Chain A
Amino acid sequence: GDSVTQMEGPVTLSEEAFLTINCTYTATGYPSLFWYVQYPGEGLQLLLKATKADDKGSNKGFEATYRKETTSFHLEKGSVQVSDSAVYFCALSESDYKLSFGAGTTVTVRA
Chain B
Amino acid sequence: GAGVSQSPSNKVTEKGKDVELRCDPISGHTALYWYRQSLGQGLEFLIYFQGNSAPDKSGLPSDRFSAERTGGSVSTLTIQRTQQEDSAVYLCASSWDRGAEAFFGQGTRLTVV
Contact = CB atoms under 8 A, between A and B. Distances in A.
Nearest to A41: B106
A98 interface: yes
Which of the four size classes fits the interface of chain B? Answer: 20 to 34
Contacts, number: 52
A100 B107 CA distance: 18
Interface of A: 32, 34, 36, 42-46, 49, 89, 93-104
B98 interface: yes
Interface stretch (B14-22, B38-46, B80-88): B38-46
Contacts of B45: 98-101
Q: Decide if the interface of chain B is mainly helix, strand, loop or mixed.
A: strand
Contacts of A94: 99
B48 A97 contact: yes
Interface centre among A32, A95, A98, A104 (most CB of B within 10 A): A98
Contacts of B102: 46, 99
Contacts of A46: 101-103
Contacts of B104: 36, 43-45
Nearest to B42: A103
